[in-house]
Amino acid sequence: MSAEILSRIEDVLDQIRPALHSDGGDVELVEFDEEGFVHLTMHGACGGCPMSTATLSLGIEAELRRQIPEVEGVITV
């Protein structure tokens, strides 16, 4: 696992976090696996929100894939 890719993932998540914080939630990077999947845990209001799936796929995953070509997708853990 590349420390450089993990740093880039955290940078993208830091860009997204203010929007999550405004809704009472947060996201935590768990791992970036060898297949290119980012494993994330949603916290706070985002953990149980019915819209968290849309937030992940349309927001977080889309932005990660746009900025980091090595990312194949996002998995919630």
Residue range 34-54: mean pLDDT, rounded: 83
Q: What is the pLDDT of residue 62?
A: 92
User: What percentage of the chain has pLDDT greater than the value 90?
Assistant: 56
For position 25, what pLDDT does the model report?
Answer: 86
More confidently predicted of 55 and 42: 42
Q: Per-residue pLDDT averaged across 6-35, rounded?
A: 93
- Using H for helix, E for strand and C for coil, what is the string for the chain? CCHHHHHHHHHHHHHHHHHHHHCCEEEEEEEECCCCEEEEEEEEHHHHCCCHHHHHHHHHHHHHHHHCCCCCEEEEC
Average pLDDT score over the chain? 88
Q: Which domains does the chain have, with CATH numbers?
A: 3-76 (3.30.300.130)
